[in-house]
Amino acid sequence: MAVQAVERVTSFGPAVALSCRECGERFDLGPVFACASCFGPLEVAYELPAGDPEGLRRRIESGPANIWRYAPLLPVPADVADKPNLNPGFTALVRADNLARELGVTGGLFVKDDSGNPTHSFKDRVVAVAVEAARAFGFTTLSCSSTGNLAGAVGAAAARAGLRSCVFIPHDLEAGKVVMAAVYGGDLVGIEGTYDDVNRFCSELIGDPAGEGWGFVNVNLRPYYGEGSKTLAYEICEQLGWRLPDQIVVPVASGSQLTKIDKGLRELIALGLVEDRPYRIFGAQATGCAPVSRAYKDGHDVVRPVKPDTIAKSLAIGNPADGPYVLDIARRTGGAVEDVTDEEVVDAIRLLARTEGIFAETAGGVTVGVTRKLLREGVLDPSLTTVVLNTGDGLKTLDAVAAGPRATIRPSVEAFREAGLG
């Protein structure tokens, strides 16, 4: 295997190279995302601070209450917390005892609620790391292809960082996500077609003079962007008292979040920050866009693209780039990949809201719905500690759930009683 010479770039902290996930070849840190030899995806390789787990744990715990407490494990400079950014992360890990009783979970059920981030989705994490890479490479415009949440996160992060933003979305997204992406003053462009069409267009724009000086967070900055999802794994383990969850259920769109959560868990084990013991990772998709779930059930290693048709638009990626790696992780850890119908998604949104006071967007309904389905089928073990991800706020997907007043009455106690309310 040929290994290129790698120079240490101090602005990327412990990161030392980009490494191909297929052939292992290494490349200098730069705005590239595919291996020049085999076209495999690149990811960040590190020299992490090993040898003193207790010291590292104390350093993390004394850090800011956001993702930058984990700066020693991310491709960012040591002074990242002092720069203008949205400071996402360290969101609530909610002990969901009411939901656990409904589902029959006895081993402890938790919801990692990332709706508490600045733009109300987990995308703030990945964008925050990508912004630091954009700064290091001298990009002046921040861009992305998005199913909605990422567009808003990029717009907000660019505004805070003093960068221009130009983001691209499918033309038929939920109105709430369109408004949130547009309000930050950047350029929002709707593309006629699906997310996969939008993503292909962005890949073409990178090679065109019109895209010169642009950092596409999920294309040419993708290796750095993806590392932000590791912070979900770090936080979950720290919030559980520096221990691994037994089971974790993760929504799958491109699949990057799930693969990086697994990477984060393995890093914590290697650094001695958590005890090395088995954990299981489960992927969750909507039936109307379930190419990874279908491949898992059919026993295939190749994920066949599909045309999305689901209310869970944030997960509507018909050709998921990390799909094969999701399959590998689910099988390696003893997990699974499952899907639920749109009707089950809506019912799960209502269930989570009714039991725990958390209003999830449709992706959260997918994870809760899949969790319930896997428990019913005996795939998830109800006696083990289980973490379910809610990656966004239900206010962004209001069209998915019909709700309103139980009654409209005159302002009198008599009318209250007549309505059967007292």
| pLDDT tens-digit profile, the chain (422 residues) | 333 333 344 589 999 999 999 999 999 999 999 999 999 999 999 999 989 999 999 999 999 999 999 999 999 999 999 999 999 999 999 999 999 999 999 999 999 999 999 999 999 999 999 999 999 999 999 999 998 899 999 999 999 999 999 999 998 888 888 998 999 999 999 999 998 899 899 989 888 898 889 999 999 999 999 999 999 999 999 999 999 999 999 999 999 999 999 999 999 999 999 999 999 999 999 999 999 999 999 999 999 999 999 999 999 999 999 999 999 999 999 999 999 999 999 999 999 999 999 999 999 999 999 999 999 999 999 999 999 999 999 998 888 988 889 899 999 999 999 999 88
Q: What is the pLDDT of residue 148?
A: 86
Q: What is the pLDDT of residue 6?
A: 36
Secondary structure of 193-261 in the HEC alphabet?
CCHHHHHHHHHHHHCCHHHCCEEECCCCCHHHHHHCCHHHHHHHHHHCCCCCCCEEEEECCCCHHHHHH
Q: What is the pLDDT of residue 238?
A: 98
- In degrees and rounded to multiples of 5, residue 102 shows phi and psi of -65, -40
Q: How far apart are CA 37 and CA 50, in angstroms?
A: 31
- The reported pTM is 0.93
What 3-state DSSP class applies to 337? strand
Among 275, 267, 271, residue whose Cα is nearest residue 242:
275
Tokens of 150: 């990422």
Q: What is the pLDDT of residue 348?
A: 98
Q: What is the pLDDT of residue 9?
A: 43
Contact, 165 vs 186, CB < 8 A? yes
For residue 360, what is the DSSP state? B
Q: What is the pLDDT of residue 276?
A: 98
What 3-state DSSP class applies to 19? strand
Burial of 341 by CB count in 10 Å (0-12 exposed, 13-18 middle, 19+ buried)? Answer: middle
What 3-state DSSP class applies to 167? strand
Tokens of 44: 């960040």
Residues with Cβ within 8 Å of residue 272, at least 6 apart in sequence: 50, 53
Q: Dmax of the chain from CA atoms? A: 83
